[in-house]
Structure 1
Amino acid sequence: MSGSAPTTAPASGWGRVMRRKPVSRLNAESGADSGGSELRRSLGVFRLTMIGVGSTVGTGIFIVLNEAVPKAGPAVVVSFVLAAITAALTALCYAELASTIPVSGASYTYAYATMGELIAFIVGACLLLEYGVAASAVAVGWGEYLNALLGDVTGWQLPAEFSAPPGEGGILNVPAAVLVTACCLLLVRGAKESATINAITVCIKLAVLLLFVAVAFTAFNAENAQPFAPFGAAGVGAAASMVFFSYIGMDTVSTAGEEVRNPRRTLPLALFWCVVIVTSIYLLVAIAGIGAQPWQRFEGQQAGLAAILGDLTGSGWPAIVLAAGGVVSIFGVTLTTIYGQTRILFSMGRDGMVPKVFHTVHPRRRTPVHNTLIVSLFVGLLAAVVPLNTLANLTSMGTLVAFTVVSAGVVILRRTRPDLDRGFRAPGGPVVPALSIAACVYLISQLPWSTYLMFAIWLALALTLYFTYSVKHSTLATGEPRA
């Protein structure tokens, strides 16, 4: 392609860390132009949409609703709307870049092509935080729904010390570690097998959530939504920032760029359907839940949706079905978020940003086995020992920073490479990316100061790795692509 940026930059100084990777080289390495790939291309629109929905629906509704309602009251519905608008604007930007650069790596890869190596590495660090912490946050809540199911079916539950989140009555979250192990074993088998299992779990969770909506609306009481916004705009903003981590499914869709058939068409379609399905489900469940019980009861409520159905129906079958749905749903979310993180590291390993072990593919299964094992160990440890609300806010921070970079990347790539083949163009010229950036920055500003501190520590560690390892081993520095 004409006008491509050079593959190397000055050997020292600012140019060294701001060297960009040409889109033509990215597409060539991934096989996007030839239809080949180091990974197996086996995913169509349905399976890819289900990956996005699977990594999204479950986090915000099954778990974080009980953390967000005490911050905003019934106005948490507005918080979900704000998060949805931000997600929809960003999805348009993702669709354009994903159809232009259909490779693994998502916003890390897009930043490498538009803003340079250092920014790309920082975005990669944000994505690792986003996916690793999100998977841990979801896995933390699995023990709650497992206990709810065990209690309803057998009358016995796991001891709180070994099933509740640390800081909330637990010492070591054993179910979370078991869940991560199961997901790891499935991912090692292959992307197609994992996507099929995920599609099944998505259909189950959507059916269960629609059951919840149907039952909860029979007990809807408008008085439960009073006062609507007890903590004002500040509460709405704080809750919106927290629940935004429920929308990471968009990024997960784009991480699968090298395992998708006809990626320039499939990726935008999957992103569109993911946002539509997720937003509809979130709003229905949030409204039904708020109407079914006073908002003050959400705080500290374990396995929230199952508890609501239990109160409405006694310990009948609807509560058991909801608890079982939560167990299945959270498995699917954990599976797809771990999948997303391994594919980010796969791309970073190919670029020399992290050790080669993350880019090694099993010769028969064509999956990054060692990568998956390392990621699962990290996720399992976090899930076992870190409190849930800390994980949720950190995930939102990583997600929002990555989304901001993607939106900026659309504008930059249009100016620097107007000649590129784009399967989809975000409407409105620079307006949609600008609105997306503004919405992301607003939500970032609503996060607590402790999240900024932990995020700064994470970035400091990431930059240490970059300047001691990555800048020297980058394939743009050596001039040789990784085999």
Structure 2
Amino acid sequence: MTASGTSPSPSAEAVEPAGHPRLHRGLRMLGTLFITLSAITPASSVFIISPGVIGQAGTGAFWAFAVAGVVGVFMALVYAELSSAFPLSGGEYAITARALGRLPGFVVLGLILVTQLLIVAVIALGVGTYLSVLFPHLNAPVTAAVTTLLATVLAVFDIKLNAWVTGIFLAIEMVALIVVSALGLLHPKRSLGDLVAHPVVAAAGSNPAVTAVGVGTIGAATAVAIFAYNGYGSAVYFGEETQDAPRSIAKTVLWALGITVFAELIPTTAVLIGAPDLPSLFGADNMMKYFITATSNSKVNDAISLAVAVAIFNAVLAIILVTARMVFSTGRDSAWPAPVSKALAAIHPKFGSPWIATIFTGVVSAGFCFADNTFLLVVTSTTIIAVYAALAMSSIAGRRNGSTAHAAYRMPGWPVAPVLALAAIAYVVYENFQDPKVGRPSLWTTIGIAVVSAAYYLVALRRRGTWELKGAEDS
């Protein structure tokens, strides 16, 4: 099976009637899966997000990731059905606008646009941390910006090339996770039963000790673990470039979630089972470095750190590919003044890529690499909650108003998945509201972005009547 199949040349399909540029279908399902998994970046989640979950819930992190996987199934089923009905490069905003209405759709557009442009910077800032094993004095923002710009150059090229590049880098990432898993599972210091029946967390006080962890703490950590799995829905952005998209994209979403859960849950569990000393693990400034050096040596840690740096670059590349397609779609839909929309909707005559949208995405994201870390965290922490809620409601509305009746994939047990997803989202909102440092300010920021987006739509777009929802189904 190959990452891409035989298809017409990009230049042949890039020449489109004025006002309706169209991407070419150069991907098969495997190529789309490579890019989607790279955007999720399991290795980055294990090395960056998992330690935060472990620090919060201790060995209860096993339960947090397991429950988060169940919640992920609910949202993946929602994504699969909606992307099967609307496999469009606009992603979530294009789906919501068609199923729930134009105003909610444009609000989602605003939330996703801001989040995606900033999340590239958030991820790229991790490159310097892991390259520091070889270059200890790297400037983090400069390194992140250079990484982003290099990925942008690569993202301008043909999507088939990028599918292969992300696939190769993804293989390196998975090898690093296999090594981490082997270090813990082959030399266990405690059983899986201990994690399940007797989860513990670091005890308060100066003495290194552990104490039982409560259900509430594990629940709060689950809210973080849910986001560690996030990204499987990114497959929909390549719906206009994937062959047999209505079926392929739905399958890709489900496969991406399944692989991600295993790729993150198993290494995290291995760390909890194989750590020589839990108090030392919980108290380490760098938990993964402690675990790897305690179970092997510093050279193995250096090799894995470099693999994680590769994984982060791969994630930056994949997310730029995703975001550029969404930005391209906003231009094709005439969401902005005519000259801006026309430029963003341009397709490269040789590579068949949305090249101006790609460059715009990369340059803006590189600029955000110099922003304050707290600002980046606050803006990006909870916007995805609102997007998830909009999608869950879109799946319900789509069934009721018939807008998704043509979907090639129908989720089993409807409406269980969207209803349970909404319940989980409500819980995550509650937990974030309890956090006055990041969670609550982030929720207010999300509301602010939604209000500004709604105002732009009502004052500018609806009055002008220029926002047109276009896509592959119009050709």
Equivalent residues in 2 for 1:292-303, closer than 5 Å: 292-293=274-275, 294=278, 297-298=281-282, 301-302=285-286
Deviations 1:257-289 (A, max 9, x none): 111111012111111111111001111111112
Q: Distance in 1 between matches of 2:377 and 2:31?
A: 26
- Find the partner of 1:199 among 167, 170, 174: 167
Contact 1:91 1:250 in 2 (8 A): yes
Q: Distance in 2 between matches of 1:404 and 1:254?
A: 17
Counterpart position of 1:438: 423
SS of residue paired to 1:222: coil
Counterpart position of 1:385: 371
Q: Distance in 2 between matches of 1:140 and 1:446?
A: 26
Q: Distance in 2 between matches of 1:381 and 1:234?
A: 39
Instruction: Give me the TM-score of the superposition, normalised by structure 2.
Output: 0.82
Equivalent residues in 2 for 1:16-415, closer than 5 Å: 38-56=22-40, 57-148=42-133, 150=134, 156-159=135-138, 162-163=139-140, 173-222=141-190, 228=200, 232-293=214-275, 294=278, 297-298=281-282, 301-302=285-286, 304-316=287-299, 318-354=300-336, 355-356=340-341, 357-387=343-373, 391=376, 394-415=379-400
The percent of aligned pairs where both chains have the same amino acid is 22
Counterpart position of 1:3: none
Q: Distance in 2 between matches of 1:103 and 1:250?
A: 15
SS of residue paired to 1:41: coil
- TM-aligned CA deviation for residue 227 of structure 1: 5.3
SS of residue paired to 2:27: coil
Deviations 1:233-276 (A, max 9, x none): 34323322233333332221111111111101211111111111
Amino acid at match of 1:109: A
- TM-aligned CA deviation for residue 46 of structure 1: 0.9
- Change in CA separation of 1:69 and 1:295 when aligned onto 2, cut-off 3 Å: farther
Amino acid at match of 2:89: S
Counterpart position of 1:26: none
SS of residue paired to 1:409: helix
Q: Alpha carbon RMSD of aligned pairs, Å? A: 2.9
SS of residue paired to 1:128: helix
- TM-aligned CA deviation for residue 419 of structure 1: 8.0
Q: Distance in 2 between matches of 1:438 and 1:461?
A: 27
Can you give the 5+ residue segments of structure 2 that lack an aligned partner in the other structure? 1-13, 15-19, 202-211, 433-438
- TM-aligned CA deviation for residue 455 of structure 1: 2.0
Q: Distance in 2 between matches of 1:250 and 1:469?
A: 33
Q: How many residues align?
A: 428
Counterpart position of 2:10: none
Q: Distance in 2 between matches of 1:432 and 1:264?
A: 20
- Change in CA separation of 1:238 and 1:139 when aligned onto 2, cut-off 3 Å: farther
Counterpart position of 1:456: 447
Counterpart position of 1:466: 457
- Change in CA separation of 1:417 and 1:37 when aligned onto 2, cut-off 3 Å: farther
Contact 2:380 2:442 in 1 (8 A): no
Q: Distance in 1 between matches of 2:182 and 2:469?
A: 60
- Change in CA separation of 1:460 and 1:298 when aligned onto 2, cut-off 3 Å: farther
Contact 1:360 1:370 in 2 (8 A): yes
Amino acid at match of 1:117: R
Deviations 1:301-357 (A, max 9, x none): 34x5344212322223x2232112101111111111122112222222222223403
Q: Distance in 1 between matches of 2:378 and 2:60?
A: 19
Q: Distance in 2 between matches of 1:458 and 1:415?
A: 29
Deviations 1:131-181 (A, max 9, x none): 223322211211111113x1xxxxx5125xx23xxxxxxxxx222111111
Q: Distance in 2 between matches of 1:300 and 1:468?
A: 52
- Change in CA separation of 1:157 and 1:408 when aligned onto 2, cut-off 3 Å: same
Q: Distance in 1 between matches of 2:227 and 2:441?
A: 17
Q: Distance in 2 between matches of 1:381 and 1:364?
A: 28
SS of residue paired to 1:55: helix
Contact 1:353 1:473 in 2 (8 A): no
- TM-aligned CA deviation for residue 108 of structure 1: 0.7
